[in-house]
């Protein structure tokens, strides 16, 4: 039913029907109840507001006689269109409605966040979700463990150990609703407000805004060919650094073993902490696997974060955070009353998915799928663009960067692409300092497109930029 929530006062000295009449008149005049809205019947509104039918009827009658409402036989009571002068009195809403501007038509969207939904195991996921919806599972309908379902944490612990060398127990894992929510919780646990956080420059903007929204100052640390520059980090006053060593975001380099050791040494020597965001570590296509910083460190210096957004689907909103024991103690002391934000039904489904072996199969399949897509992408870029571009960061993940040797600016390149129904993305927003890379660099995500679409999209892009 239409939201009609007047504040009616029995003892105000004004009769209830007048109060209701005035409320409805104001709502109609202000446009909150627009023309052609069908009002609830007298019976429904009187039951809903706990008023007599007579009171509602009198209010409606008054509005009909003044031309605000019309009673249409066998249809209902409707709000009439008002004269312009009355509408002009309508106050401007504080929040403007979202722009309905027509978006340009896009045929090939190389968005980094898009994943391959065609290979999502729909029937398995549906079957496992359905299993949660039987009466014998109704325990899942109530609040769960605030840290996340224990059985799921056990599966994640196993997976992290054999795939990333992460050493932990399930008691150290907190399930979150995405990396940003996990980071936000982490900063509250650390009581890390109004301090300095060192970040890779360029780096993940989504993390930087979390840090800034906790009052922190960002200290941008430049990259070298292997990731964050350790010498520059030593010059920073920061006691926390946020890094993406498996596949630096957005440049894509994989941090080699030696640099990982240096980074861990920096943390030891400076009594600092490392936040390791392993957001797409499942998709590595070349070289030997390098254990996570958390696994290499064997110290209390690393907070490890991961997500199911790239490996499964982003709308699942499930991430995880492995805390060192001293932070776990703080969490236990101060966060007992915080509820777990992720649905127990999704958690249970994911737990079954992992336990019954589907996860491993899915990851293997997706790795091959994405590797093929990446291969196609790189081949067609090399074939078409030749020396007009340089490909950056192709060892892992779901995106690459293109340094484009052109006189166009980044904005112009995006604009030309869009006019040709191809969408590619800027990386300028990932820089904290000014982009010092010279030629424009464009981000190309390939997860969400088929190989055929990749081929077509890149050919169009080359023609549009250089044809």
Ligand X SMILES: Cc1ncc(COP(=O)(O)O)c(C=O)c1O
Residues that bind ligand X (CB under 6 A): 113, 178-180, 204, 206, 244, 249, 277, 279, 307, 309, 314, 319
H or E segment to which residue 445 belongs: strand 441-445
Q: Are 251 and 427 in contact (CB under 8 A)?
A: no
Residues forming a β-bridge with 389: 404
In whole angstroms, give the CA distance from residue 45 to residue 42: 5
Closest separation between CB of residue 73 and ligand X, Å? 54
Specify the residue, 319 or 374, whose C-beta has the smaller distance to ligand X.
319
User: Could you tell me the smallest distance in angstroms from the CB atom of residue 212 to ligand X?
Assistant: 16
Nearer to ligand X, 62 or 319 (CB): 319
The tokens 């325990």 sit on which residue?
139
Dig out the tokens for 236 from the structure.
């920073």
Residue with Cβ nearer ligand X (180 or 232): 180
Is the distance from CB of 196 to CB of 237 less than 8 angstroms?
yes
Which is nearer to ligand X, 424 or 455 (by Cβ)? 424
Residue 214 CB contacts under 8 Å (≥ 6 apart), including other chains:
184, 187, 188, 192, 193, 194
Q: Which is nearer to ligand X, 147 or 319 (CB)?
A: 319
From residue 236, how far is each of 218, 241, 270, 404 by CA, in Å? 11, 10, 10, 32
Q: Which is nearer to ligand X, 277 or 410 (CB)?
A: 277
Shortest Å distance, C-beta 205 to ligand X: 9
For residue 163, what are the contacts with CB-CB under 8 A and spacing of at least 6?
281, 282, 289
Structure tokens at 289: 């696997």
**Spatial distance between the Cα atoms of 159 and 308, rounded to a whole number of angstroms:** 12
Provide the minimum distance between the beta carbon of 280 and ligand X in the complex, in angstroms, as a whole number. Answer: 7
Residue 358 is encoded by which pair of tokens?
Answer: 């589907």
Tell the smallest beta-carbon distance from residue 398 to ligand X (Å). Answer: 9
Shortest distance in whole angstroms from residue 126 CB to ligand X: 22
Give buried/exposed letters for 248-275 (b at 16+ CB in 10 A, else e).
bbbbbbbbeeebbebbbebbeebebbbb
Nearer to ligand X, 77 or 316 (CB): 316
For the chain, what percentages of helix, strand and coil (3-state, to nearest 5) are there? 45, 15, 40
Task: Give min distance, CB of 250 to ligand X, in A.
Answer: 8
Query: How is residue 237 written in tokens?
Result: 């006053």
Q: Which is nearer to ligand X, 56 or 427 (CB)?
A: 427
Q: In the complex with ligand X, which residue's Cβ is closer, 17 or 370?
A: 370
Q: How far is the CB of 308 from ligand X (least distance, A)?
A: 7
| Least distance CB 292 / ligand X (angstroms) | 14
H helices of 66-204, in order, are: 84-87, 122-131, 150-164, 179-190
Write the DSSP assignment of 181-244 as a string of letters. HHHHHHHHHHT--SSEEEEEES--HHHHHHHHHTTPEEEEEEEETTEE-HHHHHH---SEEEE-
Residues 6+ apart with CB under 8 A from 321: 173, 174, 176, 182, 185, 186, 303, 304, 305
List of residues 6+ apart from 171 with CB closer than 8 A:
147, 153, 328
Rank residues 306 and 457 by Cβ distance to ligand X and give the closer one. Answer: 306
Q: Which is nearer to ligand X, 104 or 113 (CB)?
A: 113
To ligand X, the closest distance from the beta carbon of 277 in angstroms equals 5
Residue placing its CB nearer to ligand X in the complex, 165 or 206:
206
Residue 355: CB minimum distance to ligand X, A: 22
Q: Provide the minimum distance between the beta carbon of 204 and ligand X in the complex, in angstroms, as a whole number.
A: 4
Rg over CA atoms, the chain: 29
């Amino acid at each position: 039913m239409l939201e009609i929530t007047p504040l009616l006062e029995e003892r105000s000295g004004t009769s209830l029907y007048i109060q209701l009449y005035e409320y409805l008149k104001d709502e109609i005049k202000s446009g909150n109840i627009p023309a052609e809205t069908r009002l609830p019947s007298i019976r429904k509104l009187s039951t809903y507001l706990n008023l007599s039918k007579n009171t509602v009827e009198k209010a409606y009658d008054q509005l009909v006689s003044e031309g605000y409402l019309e009673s249409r036989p066998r249809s209902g009571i409707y709000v009439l269109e008002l004269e312009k002068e009355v509408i002009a009195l309508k106050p401007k809403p504080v929040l403007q409605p979202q722009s309905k501007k027509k978006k340009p038509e896009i045929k090939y969207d190389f968005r980094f966040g898009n994943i391959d939904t065609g290979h999502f195991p729909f029937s398995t996921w549906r079957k496992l979700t359905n299993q949660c919806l039987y009466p014998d599972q109704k325990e899942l309908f109530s609040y769960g463990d605030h840290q996340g379902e224990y059985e799921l944490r056990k599966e994640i612990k196993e997976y992290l150990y054999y795939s990333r060398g992460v050493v932990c127990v399930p008691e150290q894992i907190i399930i979150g609703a995405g990396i940003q929510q996990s980071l936000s919780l982490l900063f509250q646990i650390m009581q890390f407000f109004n301090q300095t956080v060192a970040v890779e420059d360029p780096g993940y903007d989504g993390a930087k805004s979390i840090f800034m929204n906790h009052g922190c100052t960002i200290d941008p640390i430049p990259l070298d060919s292997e990731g964050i520059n350790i010498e520059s980090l030593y010059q920073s006053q920061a006691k926390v650094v946020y890094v993406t060593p498996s596949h630096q975001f957005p440049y894509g380099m994989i941090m080699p073993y030696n640099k990982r050791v240096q980074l861990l040494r920096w943390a030891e020597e400076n009594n600092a902490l490392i936040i390791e965001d392993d957001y797409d570590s499942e998709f590595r296509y070349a070289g030997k696997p390098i254990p996570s910083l958390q696994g290499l460190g064997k110290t209390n210096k690393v907070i490890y974060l991961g997500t199911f957004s790239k490996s499964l689907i982003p709308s699942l909103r499930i991430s995880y955070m492995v805390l060192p024991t001293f932070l776990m103690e703080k969490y236990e002391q101060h966060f007992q009353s915080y509820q777990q934000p992720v649905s127990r039904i999704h958690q249970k489904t994911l737990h079954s998915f992992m336990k019954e072996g589907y996860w491993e199969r899915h990851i293997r399949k997706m790795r091959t799928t994405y590797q093929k897509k990446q291969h196609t992408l790189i081949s067609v870029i090399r074939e078409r663009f030749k020396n007009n571009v340089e490909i950056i960061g192709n060892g892992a993940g779901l995106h690459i960067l293109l340094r484009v040797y052109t006189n166009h600016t980044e904005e112009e390149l995006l604009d030309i692409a869009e006019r040709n129904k191809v969408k590619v993305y800027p990386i300028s927003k990932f820089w904290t300092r000014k982009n010092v890379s010279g030629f424009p660099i464009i981000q190309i995500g390939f997860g969400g497109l088929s190989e055929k679409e990749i081929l077509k999209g890149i050919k169009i892009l080359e023609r549009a930029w250089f044809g």
